[in-house]
Structure 1
Amino acid sequence: MYSIAVDIGGTNIKAAVLNDELDIVKYVKIPTPDNKEVLIVEKVYRLIRDYIEQYALASPFIGISSAGVIDSERGEVVYTGPTIQNFDGTNFYQALSDLSNQIKIYNDVDAALLRELAFHQYEEENIFCLTLGTGIGGAFYNHKLGLYAGERHRANEIGYLLYRAEDDKTFEKRASTAALKELMQKWEFEFASNVPRLFELAETGDTLAQAILNEWATHVAEGIAQIQIMYDPGLILIGGGISAQGAALLKYIEPKVHDFLPPDYGVARLQTTQTENHAALFGVVSQR
């Protein structure tokens, strides 16, 4: 039996058909529409409808992950801030009701963390997942209580931390992968916004590449210190495409976290996620 998974991000929409073993049978990635001239919900509807017709599916399980604050019970986007315009109040359960009666929507970081936990065993009781991408997202999981969403489904919106009036920036604006790319352009890095190349050159001892990563990693570490203080997790997972850098990423961040904490405060174990590709897509169908 096939399931359909959709991951809605600020830059791209990914959609896939998966079998019971969670193998991807069909996959497509398209740019996220402006949500003005072309609505995201309409584009998602057409993608799912086409898959249903192509594979002759009858009321398949549809899992959706999306950026923003998500009310999974109502199937509604509660708040997205500047990430995606004109998206608040979009109800996917209503919009897709004629395609299936098995629909579930999650925040994208919640979905990615669910995928990680479904396929990898961690001993820690409390786990925080931090994703670095176009923006910054968070998810918190307790092994007894499950995902924690907060009173208004707005818990873990850590991208809004650390706002400073002097530069009008938040944690997200300083420490996301998008912010790293802006920094690379500011420093006139030879390979523009090629992040993998930045890490490659840093590993060879390139002083400019190392300076860029050190400046950016300081901002990442400051946010991680706030997570440590607020949640006291045993493990902090770092996800997003940049997590593929693994130890090369962590070595810039880990030593700096202590600079933003009181002496001997302690910090959780840091690790990059083991599920690098399509984590949110797998996560939304792993809960069917």
Structure 2
Amino acid sequence: MSNYKVAIDIGGTNIKSAIINAKDLSIVEINSVPTPNNVTNLIIDEVYRIAEYYKEKYGINKLELGISSAGVIDDQSGTVIYSGPTIPNYKGTNFKSYLAPICSDIVVLNDVNAALLGELTYYNYKQNNIFCLTIGTGIGGAFYNSTLGIHIGSRHRANQIGYLLYDSASETTFETRASTSGLKKLMNSYNYDHDSNVKQLFKDAKNGKAIAKDILNDWSFHLAEGIAQIQIIYDPDIILIGGAISAQGDDLLNYIIPKIKFFLPHNYGHAKIQTTLSLNNAALIGAITKLL
């Protein structure tokens, strides 16, 4: 099974994993488990367990593992060098050293960088400058230039857009207000009938339910504000929106795009905005691209 690579995508809510055939990038098996609290149960132990499971099940002698993870990642050492509050006690986690006993090669990438690499592997984008933001438990960003590749910054901290737009009155950031977690909190504050069921929220809004439309208008206002800042800073050819919520496609974009102009100078304009084409498995593919 030398063509098989293992990919693990660590998010604030779930850890997704897959075994991927490197010949055609087909997913042989895919699984998901809740992300441990990283206090009493450690994420790195769960990652070890997952990698060992695939190694034994598929009889892989030299396991090549790609990890996509939330947080600021030093991809040379395979270490989490900074992490926000969505994952406690994560800073300092070194995947390469911990997993060395069962892996012959390990690549560790920031999750949004991995997602963008996966998207670019699946699809042939013509644009030279591409920004990708993923919306989930938090919000992350990645920027790609066709000549320079993925931009990571001098301290691996480039594109940490979730920390933009800090509001001292509410002590919240762009990520706090505009992530899927932020949307769920907003749903609860509105006493929405279906608690934090985001899919049902979009369905109700599409069917004209007033409270669902109000919630999405409120939330998307914050999301549009952050996207306007991305436009001003990066001036990309295209802005991609990923994460599980991207499955809502035009139903999502129709709430966001009309609001962006309110945060830009008159007639400023903005890049084309679309949801990612590979939806929610891009980070798994991107995690192994450097192993191919």
Structure 1 residue 233 corresponds to structure 2 residue 236: yes
Q: Deviations over 1:108-132 (max 9, x none)?
A: 1111111111111222211100111
Matching residue within 254, 259, 277 for 2:280: 277
Give the Cα–Cα distance (whole angstroms) in 2 for the partners of residues 27 and 127 of structure 1.
Answer: 28
After TM superposition, give the deviation of residue 50 of structure 1 in Å. 2.0
Deviation, 1:204, is 1.9
Provide the residue aligned with 2:59 in structure 1.
56
Structure 2 residue 119 is matched with structure 1 residue 109: no
Q: Post-superposition shift, 1:19?
A: 1.4
Classify the secondary structure of the residue corresponding to 2:279. coil
Aligned-pair CA distance for 1:142: 0.4
- CA displacement 1:186-225 (0-9 Å, x = unmatched): 1111222111111112112222111111110100000001
2:255 corresponds in structure 1 to: 252
How big is the shift at 1:101? Answer: 2.5
Gaps of 5+ in 2: none
Match of 1:5 in 2: 7
Please give the per-residue CA displacement for 1:41-62, whole angstroms capped at 9, x wherever unaligned.
1221121112112211112221
Q: CA deviation at 1:74?
A: 1.3
Partner-residue secondary structure (3-state), 1:94: helix
Structure 1's consecutive aligned runs of 4 or more residues displaced over 4 angstroms after TM superposition are none
CA RMSD for the aligned pairs?
1.1
- Tell me the number of residue pairs that the alignment of Structure 1 and Structure 2 aligns: 288
Q: Say whether 1:160 aligns with 2:163.
A: yes
TM-score, scaled to structure 1 = 0.97
Once the two structures are overlaid, the 10-residue window that deviates more, 80-89 or 155-164, is: 80-89
Alpha carbons 1:4, 1:62 under 8 Å: kept: yes
Q: Quote the Cα distance in structure 2 between the aligned partners of 1:152 and 1:170.
A: 21
- Of 65, 72, 75, the match for 2:75: 72
Percent identity of equivalent pairs: 54
- Taking the aligned partners of 1:285 and 1:250, their CA distance within structure 2 comes to 30
Shift of 1:22: 2.0
Give the equivalent residue in structure 2 for 1:204.
207
From 182, 186, 191, give the equivalent of 1:188: 191
Asked whether the 8 Å contact 2:242–2:280 carries over to 1, the reply is: no
Q: Could you list the per-position Cα deviations for residues 147-175 of structure 1 after superposition, in whole angstroms to 9, with x for gaps in the alignment?
A: 00011000111000001111110001110
